[in-house]
């Protein structure tokens, strides 16, 4: 049972109505630019009262693999999308990054394109505020949730499903620290789950939480939403 389903269940019970929907538009591998596209094309038309962006880890670990020209514009993306070029354009230009991953048994160290942490800081500030502005322009409220993650274990041991490549892990976790720093400075609603990483359980990898953690995340979102948006929710339910 995903977090969105559990959150919807709790809100419906609290307000004694089934006239509340929590719609999950997320996809594996998504970064903030993808989330903005999802909202513009799929979310905006349904006129939600609140948009939640539960994000963070993908942006930090995909940014080092994105060309600098893209990074400067905040156009962060899942590098495996480059493997789609042959399907999209009927070419035979297989991604050099995918080939390199195959050659090095999945290590990301040799496909890092960008070590610029300050560029990442600026890109995240740009995308955080851009997403917030887009959502507010649609008439919705915006809540940013910085997802919890499993820190690299002390002593150098790796998770069972590690992010392969020592240099890659180092730069990715450094960018994750910057992402969290900037999120704490924003002038809109933010829940920083990463401040309590130890509270959550993971599938022995870097970021995927267990069912028990989904319940905890739903509870935290529920508590924040009821405290912050209770009057708006009650007003909306009375109108509808």
pLDDT in tens, 53-94: 999 999 999 999 999 999 999 999 988 888 777 777 777 766
The DSSP H or E segment spanning 192 is strand 190-192
- At residue 144, φ and ψ (nearest 5 deg) are -100, 125
pLDDT tens, residue by residue, 124-181: 999 999 999 999 999 999 999 999 998 877 766 677 666 888 899 999 999 999 999 9
Residue 200 has pLDDT above 80, yes or no: yes
- Mark out the alpha helices in the chain (DSSP H runs): 3-15, 32-38, 57-62, 68-72, 85-89, 96-103, 117-137, 166-183, 211-239
Contact (Cβ atoms closer than 8 angstroms) between residue 203 and residue 91: no
Contact residues for 46 (Cβ-Cβ < 8 A; gap 6+): 23
Which pLDDT score is estimated for 126?
94
What does the alpha-carbon distance between residue 240 and residue 237 come to, in Å, rounded to a whole number? 5
Which pLDDT score is estimated for 156?
61
Residue 101 has pLDDT above 70, yes or no: yes
The DSSP H or E segment spanning 16 is none
| Cα–Cα separations (whole angstroms), residue 181 to 39, 71, 198, 207, 224 | 25, 19, 18, 19, 21
Average pLDDT over residues 230-238: 92
Contact (Cβ atoms closer than 8 angstroms) between residue 176 and residue 57: yes
Contact residues for 156 (Cβ-Cβ < 8 A; gap 6+): none
Contact residues for 108 (Cβ-Cβ < 8 A; gap 6+): 64, 65, 101, 163, 164, 165, 168
DSSP state of 83: G
Q: Is the model more confident about 101 or about 186?
A: 186
Contact (Cβ atoms closer than 8 angstroms) between residue 163 and residue 108: yes
Average pLDDT over residues 219-234: 96
What does the alpha-carbon distance between residue 191 and residue 210 come to, in Å, rounded to a whole number? 19
| Cα–Cα separations (whole angstroms), residue 233 to 42, 67, 158 | 22, 43, 44
What is the pLDDT confidence band of residue 203, given thresholds at 50, 70 and 90? confident
pTM: 0.91
């Amino acid at each position: 049972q995903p977090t969105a389903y559990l959150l919807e269940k709790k809100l419906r019970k609290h307000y004694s109505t089934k006239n509340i929907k929590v719609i999950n538009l997320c996809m594996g591998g998504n970064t903030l630019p993808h989330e903005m596209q999802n909202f513009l094309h799929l979310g905006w038309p349904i006129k939600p009262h609140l948009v939640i962006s539960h994000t963070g880890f993908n942006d930090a670990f995909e940014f080092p693999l994105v060309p600098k020209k893209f990074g400067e514009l905040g156009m962060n993306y899942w590098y495996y999308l480059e493997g789609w070029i042959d399907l999209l354009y009927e070419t035979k230009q297989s991604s050099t990054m995918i080939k390199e991953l195959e050659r090095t048994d999945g290590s990301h160290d040799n496909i890092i394109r960008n070590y610029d942490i300050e560029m990442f800081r600026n890109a995240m500030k740009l995308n955080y505020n851009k997403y917030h502005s887009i959502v507010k322009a649609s008439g919705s409220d915006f809540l940013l949730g910085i997802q919890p993650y499993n820190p690299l274990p002390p002593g150098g041991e790796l998770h069972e499903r590690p992010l392969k490549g020592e240099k890659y892990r180092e730069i990715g976790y450094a960018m994750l620290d910057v992402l969290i720093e900037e999120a704490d400075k924003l002038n809109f609603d933010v829940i920083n789950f990463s401040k309590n990483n130890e509270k959550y359980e993971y599938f022995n990898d870097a970021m995927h939480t267990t069912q028990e953690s989904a319940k905890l995340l739903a509870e935290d979102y529920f508590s924040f939403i009821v405290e912050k948006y209770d009057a708006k929710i009650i007003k909306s339910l009375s109108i509808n």
